[in-house]
């Protein structure tokens, strides 16, 4: 089995002359349960900024029941972001929900194909690489998400006073969800388009769900997200924000509350988040 490809932390060449306005910090960390059983982290993420403006990001949680779930997660996240890069660099950004759906749907399709190819190379079936996948494009004017399975995306508008969010898609029980390799994944995926400027973005996999969401109310827990957005907004002043985030995800405070793999991808639009009174 070859290692999953290296993903994440890429800024497009265009970003060099005009610094990209997005500050991004992301980490996927193996949970205590996986560590205990000697399993690698089966979460993955990938992101990229194109044209200095558009943040393309994906997080994925490989199914524990699948032989190569972690590889599936890495392939899915990277394939989706690559597809978005190609689509957006060659064209303009969508202006309506239908066009967003096409754009994100094609990225999901790319992930499904990437998984199928990899499965064939490994001599397995796509379901051996089963994974959830959350794909997001955020521009200074809008934010769109396509989500298959659990996990969630939370976007902050109006200085963090207005939280837009997706909720985990569940098979009904706590230990069941849908995967990109499930039949009808594309048709059943949730699409969310928020046509207004967002300043902060958080994407997470199910390992953090119970810490980040008020399950009974079905909405994000503000006390979780506000400091994270502030952290992302200030990340360029920090020596090693990635290391800070990783230390946080491995902290006793987090580990005592979840034993699953966790992924947190945070982004803040420079000069926007925190500029308004919270």
Using CB under 8 A, list all residues that contact other proteins.
33, 61, 63-65, 132, 149-150, 171-177, 206-207, 209-218, 221, 223-224, 227-228, 230-231, 234, 238, 241, 244-245, 247-248, 251, 253, 257-260
Give the residue from 6, 14, 7, 22 showing the smallest Cα distance to 272. 22
By C-beta, is 101 or 238 nearer to other proteins?
238
CB 65 to other proteins: min, Å: 4
Closer of 138 and 264 to other proteins (Cβ): 264
Q: Of the two residues 16 and 219, which places its CB atom closer to other proteins in the complex? A: 219
**Residue 101 belongs to what H/E stretch?**
helix 97-122
Is the distance from CB of 120 to CB of 130 less than 8 angstroms? no
Q: 193 or 202, CB closer to other proteins?
A: 202
Distance of closest approach, residue 12 Cβ to other proteins, in angstroms: 28
Task: Name the strands in the sheet holding 10-11, side by side, starting at the edge strand that comes first in the sequence.
Answer: 10-11, 43-50, 54-61, 133-138, 143-148, 190-194
The whole-angstrom separation of Cα 79 and Cα 84 is: 9
Residues 6+ apart with CB under 8 A from 213: 152, 167, 168, 219, 220, 221
- Decide whether 82 or 164 has the Cβ nearer to other proteins: 164
Q: How far is the CB of 32 from other proteins (least distance, A)?
A: 11
CB of 228: closest distance to other proteins in angstroms? Answer: 6
**Which residue, among 164, 235, 261, has the nearest Cα to 21 in the 3D structure?**
235
Q: How far is the CB of 120 from other proteins (least distance, A)?
A: 24
DSSP 71-96: HHHHHHHHHHHHHHHHHHHTSPPP-S
- Of 17 and 37, which CB lies nearer to other proteins in the complex structure? 37
Q: Least distance (Å) from other proteins to the CB of residue 77?
A: 16
Beta strands in the chain, from DSSP E residues, in sequence order: 10-11, 22-29, 43-50, 54-61, 133-138, 143-148, 152-157, 162-165, 190-194, 200-204, 213-214, 219-220, 262-269
């Amino acid at each position: 089995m070859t290692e999953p490809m290296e993903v994440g932390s890429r800024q497009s060449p265009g970003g060099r002359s005009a610094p990209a306005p997005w500050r991004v910090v992301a980490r996927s960390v193996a949970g205590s349960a996986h560590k205990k059983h000697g399993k690698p982290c089966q979460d993955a993420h990938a992101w990229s900024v194109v044209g200095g403006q558009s943040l393309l990001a994906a997080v994925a949680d490989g199914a524990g029941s699948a032989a190569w779930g972690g590889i599936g997660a890495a392939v899915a996240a990277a394939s989706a972001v690559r597809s978005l890069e190609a689509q957006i660099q060659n064209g303009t950004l969508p202006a309506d929900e239908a066009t967003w759906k096409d754009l994100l749907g094609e990225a999901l399709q790319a992930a499904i194909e990437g998984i199928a190819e990899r499965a064939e190379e490994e001599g397995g079936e796509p379901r051996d690489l089963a994974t959830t996948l959350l794909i997001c494009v955020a521009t200074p004017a809008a934010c769109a998400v396509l989500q298959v399975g659990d996990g969630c995306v939370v976007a902050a508008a109006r200085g963090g006073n207005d939280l837009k969010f997706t909720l985990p898609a569940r098979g009904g029980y706590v230990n069941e969800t849908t995967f990109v390799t499930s039949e009808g994944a594309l048709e059943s995926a949730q699409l969310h388009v928020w046509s207004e400027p967002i300043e902060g973005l958080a994407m997470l996999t199910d390992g953090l769900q119970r810490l980040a969401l008020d399950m009974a109310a079905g909405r994000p827990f503000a006390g979780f997200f506000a400091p994270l957005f502030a952290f992302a907004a200030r990340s360029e002043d920090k020596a090693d924000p990635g290391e800070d985030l990783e230390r946080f995800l491995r902290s006793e405070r987090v580990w005592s509350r979840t034993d699953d793999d966790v992924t947190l991808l945070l982004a803040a639009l420079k000069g926007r988040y925190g500029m308004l009174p919270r």
